[in-house]
Structure 1
C-alpha cells in the first residue's frame, strides 16, 4: 500500500464519481475483516489507513494494568506511557501490532474493494441511464434464450423479454436483431434488470411516433390503442389541425408508413380509426371495416347497441369475436352487435 493507492482513489472520484472517503471507509472495513480472518484474534483490533501516505497500520486496544495477566488484552503502565505519557492505570490505549506480512494482504484487499466499488458504481450509472429510457424503443441483439425468456444485448447491459412480452407467432434466434419497448427497469442485487416487450400496446404507439412525423411533432394524437399482439390491433387517432388528415398521415404515401410497422410486427394487421368525441360515431368508426347502420347509446351502463347489414354481421364481429372485442377495448364501451334483420325482429310487436 502506498501513495499510489491514494492517487488512484482520487482519480476514481474524479472520473467515476465514487467519493474517495467512501472508498477509504470500505477499504478499512475490508482490512479489519481480512486481519481477523488471517490472524484470528479475540483482541479489539482496528485497522487504520493513512489518507496522505496510504500506509496501513493495525492497532489493538489494551487496558493499562499495574500487573499484566493477559498480554493480548493488557499492557503495563510503563509501556503504555511510552505510547501516551498521559495515560493512567485502567485506561485504554491503542497499541500498534501491524504484522510484517500484512502489507501484501492489505494490497490485495484494497484491490478487491476498488473493483467491487467500480462494479457498484457502473451498476448505478446503468440503472440511472435506463430508468430515464423507460418508455423508449431500443434495438439489440439476442444473446441467449433461457427458461423461455429472451436475453437481448443492449450494449452496456442486457434486456429481458419474458414469455408474456414475446409475440407468439415470432421465432427468436441467437444473433437476431430485435426491437423492444422498455416498460420497466428494476435495481437488483445483481445489477439493473431492463424489461423489454414486443407485445405492449405502447410498443405500437412508439413505432407510430417513429414512423409518422405528424405524431412525433404532436400534430396528430393517438387517443387509444387496442392490441392482440401478433394478430391484430386498432389505434384511434385525432388531428389537432383540421387541415391534416389523421388517418392518412398514419397510413402514409401509398401506405408505406403503416406497412413499415406491419413489417416490423411480422404481419400484424393494424386498423387505423378516426377518433370522434361523439361515442356513437367513434363506435361506428371502431368497428371498421364493417359498415354500421345505427348506434344506440346507453350512457349509464356505457353500453352501445349497434346494427349492421345482415351480410356484414360476421365482418363486424370478426373471427372469434376479435373485431368486436378490439372495438370495445378501443372505445371503452360494451358493444352489442345485431344484424338488421335481428334488430327488426326484436322491434316487432308481439301478436
Structure 2
C-alpha cells in the first residue's frame, strides 16, 4: 500500500480523496487544507462521503510531509498562484514522494516548458528522489491519450480536433468563472485566460505533445477567439446572477500548424447558460458538458465522452475523470525511477481491483 496525501480539498481535492480511498493499492494518510474552517474535519466529510475515513484534515504542511508519504495528490489550484503551486510541488518532491497534479499548465509537456518551471522540479527530484506527473484538469486525457488512441483507428488523418463543450452554470468556482474566464463581465473586459498567448501557454504543450506522438513538427501555434453576450439575465445556483449584455459564452481554439495547415486543434466552447450562442457546438442530448474527439480524415471518427458525479453534475464528473487519470498513475510511478513524466510516458491503466469494489 502506498501512503498517499491529498493536498487541497476544492473541486479536485474532493474527487481525489474519494479516488484514493477507492484504490486498493493506496492508503489515504493525510489531507492538507488551507481554510481554517476545514482544519480538523474528517476527510470523508470534506469529500462528501456518507461515512468517516478516520483521517483528519490539517493545515500543518510540515507535519504531513515529515511523515514522508509515498505519494501526494496536489489538488490545490495553480490558476492564479502558479509560483506558489510550483513551490508546493517541489516541497513535496524533496521528501521523495511521487507527486501527481493538474496545477502546473506548462508541465503538461515538460519538454517544451520554460526552464523557470522545469529547473526547480529537476533540482527537487535530484535532492529528494521523487517523481512528478502533471495532467490537465480540463481533463488532460481528453487532450492527449484519448485523441491519440482514436487517431490510430484512421487510415488517413487530416485534422485531429479535441473539444471541451461546457456549461458553467453548475460549476462552483466563482473566481475562475467570472474573473479568469470573464463570464458576467462586459465584453470590453479582458479576462486573463483569454488574453493573447495565454491559451497557448495553457494548452500549447498538449498540442506539441500530440504532435510528438504523431511524428510531426508544429511550425507554430495560432489562437482564435469569439465571445458572445447573454441575451437575458441568468441566475445560477452556485454563483448567483449574470446580467444580460455581459459575456455569456466564449469559444477559442489553440491550433497546431503543420505544413501551413491547422492539423491539431484544441477547442473550448464554454457558456454560463445553454441559451447563449445556441449555434455553437452543444453536448449531445442537451447535457451540461462533454468532451469530444473528432478525427477528420478517412474514415471520419467522432467520439464523445460525458461524465457525471456528485448527483449528476457534469463539472464534478469532469473533475473526477481528471483525478482518476492522476490517482490511477501513482502505482506505476512508484515502480518507476525518479523523474519528470508526461502523458506519453504514463500508461492509462485499467481499474484493476476496483470493479464492483465497495468503499467501506
TM-score under structure 2 normalisation?
Answer: 0.25
**Greater radius of gyration (CA):** 1
Structure number having the greater helix percentage: 1
TM-score under structure 1 normalisation?
Answer: 0.25
Q: Which structure has more RCO (C-alpha within 8 Å, separation ≥ 6)?
A: 2
